[in-house]
Amino acid sequence: MKVNVIVKPKEAVLDPQGNAVRDAMRHLGMPEVRSVRIGKYMEINLDGEDADLEKRLHGLCRDLLSNPVIEDYELVKTNGARKTSAIRKKQK
Amino acid sequence: MKFAVIQFPGSNCDQDCVSGINSIEGLQADYVWHKETSLRDYDAIVLPGGFAYGDYLRCGAIARFSPIMKAVISDARTGKLVLGTCNGFQVLCEAGLLPGALVRNRSLRFVCEMVTLRVEVPDSPFTHGCPEGTVLRMPIAHGEGCYFADAQTLHELNHNRQVIMRYADDRGRVVPEANPNGSIENIAGICNREGNVFGLMPHPDRACDARLGSADGAKIFQSMMQTIEAAHVRAA
């Protein structure tokens, strides 16, 4: 099984890095940019594929891969080759 | 009285902690490797500063799963004093022993300077001998020291007097200009609800000798010693 994990700062958490990038984008001629939030993207390859594995994976997303105090995570199953399109679809 | 200073791979203030603690009469500090599983022989536990596991993923995120952390957590639950400075504070938050989290400094800069702190809770196990409003000088050195907690947690911290120290100017006024990293409400250090686990971004370990700019950090270790002594007397 292949999964992508996306970790994002929670709405209430200030993201100074995102703000710096937002300001740079505006500075480079894109005043339309309203906000930028910077998170993390992880590609994970696993042996096997079943509900139990996915449940354990969610557990580790909460305990290790993200800190629920400051971050939200999203777990997206992919078929490997189509992973980029899966991400693109999510952003729409 | 014996203090354990935990060494994670990537800790770099372990020697500062051991030397700071050993400079205080009556205290003896030992290094304890993170793969150890017991802290039975120690009266108090110190998690030092540094970059445990390279701060990969998040500061303290991987260190909290080190074998020794099981002992740190179980001993903390029994009331043993636990102090986390800088990276140690981050590890305590990740481990769930302290509420909230430490995120990237608002300035996006690594800050390395001497700061002044106002003691908000004079009667905590870590601040005996510091009347409320006492101003302490200690160095900070971090890139991710901006304390964050949601509104509910913040309310509880204030209500239960868990905010032990705030960044303040040299006259003890808690003002925005004195906030080096953007921490919410100038919070520099907090304790748990029970009061026996204390984390702070400043380095008491690097402020135990006036020749290094300040000896105020020694007051924290001395206070811990007094607290433990008083507990021994009560138990006897």
User: A52: part of which helix (H) or strand (E)?
Assistant: helix A51-60
CB contact under 8 A, B103 and A70: yes
CB contact under 8 A, B108 and A65: no
List CB contacts (< 8 A) between B100 and chain A.
69
User: B150 and chain A: CB distance < 8 Å anywhere?
Assistant: yes
Judged against a pLDDT cut of 80, whether residue B4 lies above it is answered with yes
CATH of the domain at A51: 3.30.1280.10
CB contact under 8 A, B58 and A17: no
Considering its fold, how many domains does chain A have in total? 1
At residue B236, the pLDDT reads 81
What does the alpha-carbon distance between residue B6 and residue B14 come to, in Å, rounded to a whole number? Answer: 7
Minimum Cα–Cα distance from B57: chain A residue: A65
At residue B114, the pLDDT reads 97
User: B220: part of which helix (H) or strand (E)?
Assistant: helix B217-235
Q: How many CA atoms lie within 13 A of B140 on its CB side?
A: 26
Assess if residue A19 is contained within a domain: no
At residue A85, the pLDDT reads 47
Nearest CB to A64: which of B61, B100, B182? Answer: B61
> Residue A92's pLDDT band (boundaries 50, 70, 90)?
very low
Q: Going edge to edge, which strands form the sheet with B28-33?
A: B28-33, B2-7, B44-47, B81-85, B197-200, B187-191, B163-168, B111-119, B135-142
State pTM to two decimals. 0.93
Domain B2-235 - what CATH class?
alpha beta
Judged against a pLDDT cut of 90, whether residue A80 lies above it is answered with no
pLDDT digits (tens, 9 = 90+) for B75-102: 999 999 999 999 999 999 999 999 999 9
Using N-to-C axis directions, what is the helix angle for B14-22 and B217-235, rounded to 10°? Answer: 60
What does the alpha-carbon distance between residue B213 and residue B205 come to, in Å, rounded to a whole number? Answer: 12
Going by their DSSP bridges, the two strands B44-47 and B2-7 should be labelled as parallel
Assess if residue A28 is contained within a domain: no
User: B149 and chain A: CB distance < 8 Å anywhere?
Assistant: yes
Q: What is the domain partition of chain B in residue ranges?
A: 2-235
Nearest CB to B106: which of A16, A64, A69? Answer: A16
CB contact under 8 A, B101 and A67: yes
Taken as a whole, chain A contains a residue count of: 92
pLDDT digits (tens, 9 = 90+) for B200-210: 999 999 999 99
Closest CA to A91 of A23, A16, A8: A8
Cβ atoms < 10 Å from Cβ of B185: 14
User: B215 and chain A: CB distance < 8 Å anywhere?
Assistant: no
At residue B151, the pLDDT reads 96
Judged against a pLDDT cut of 50, whether residue B162 lies above it is answered with yes
Interface probe, candidates B105, B148, B179, chain A, greatest A C-beta count within 10 A: B148
> Cβ(B228)–Cβ(B81) under 8 Å?
yes
Judged against a pLDDT cut of 50, whether residue A72 lies above it is answered with yes
Judged against a pLDDT cut of 90, whether residue A56 lies above it is answered with yes
Judged against a pLDDT cut of 70, whether residue A87 lies above it is answered with no
Mean predicted lDDT score pLDDT of chain B? 97
At residue A88, the pLDDT reads 52
Cβ atoms < 10 Å from Cβ of A2: 16
Vertex B137 angle, CA B133 and B142, to 5°: 115
Interface probe, candidates A69, A71, A72, A73, chain B, greatest B C-beta count within 10 A: A69
Assess if residue A74 is contained within a domain: yes
How far does A46 lie from chain B, in Å, by closest CA?
19
> Residue B14's pLDDT band (boundaries 50, 70, 90)?
very high
What does the alpha-carbon distance between residue A58 and residue A91 come to, in Å, rounded to a whole number? Answer: 21
> Cβ(A23)–Cβ(A41) under 8 Å?
no
What's the whole-number mean pLDDT along residues B155-182?
Answer: 98
List CB contacts (< 8 A) between B65 and chain A.
64
pLDDT digits (tens, 9 = 90+) for B209-223: 999 899 999 999 999
The residue segments making up the domain with residue A63 are 2-12+39-91
CB contact under 8 A, B106 and A70: no
Judged against a pLDDT cut of 90, whether residue A83 lies above it is answered with no
> Cβ(B37)–Cβ(A43) under 8 Å?
no
What does the alpha-carbon distance between residue B98 and residue B233 come to, in Å, rounded to a whole number? Answer: 28
CB contact under 8 A, A67 and B61: yes
pLDDT digits (tens, 9 = 90+) for B117-152: 999 999 999 999 899 889 999 999 999 999 999 999
Q: Give me Rg for the CA atoms of chain B.
A: 16
Judged against a pLDDT cut of 70, whether residue A11 lies above it is answered with yes
Closest CA to B153 of A42, A15, A70: A70
User: B145 and chain A: CB distance < 8 Å anywhere?
Assistant: no
> Residue B12's pLDDT band (boundaries 50, 70, 90)?
very high
What does the alpha-carbon distance between residue B179 and residue B118 come to, in Å, rounded to a whole number? Answer: 12
How far does A40 lie from chain B, in Å, by closest CA?
9
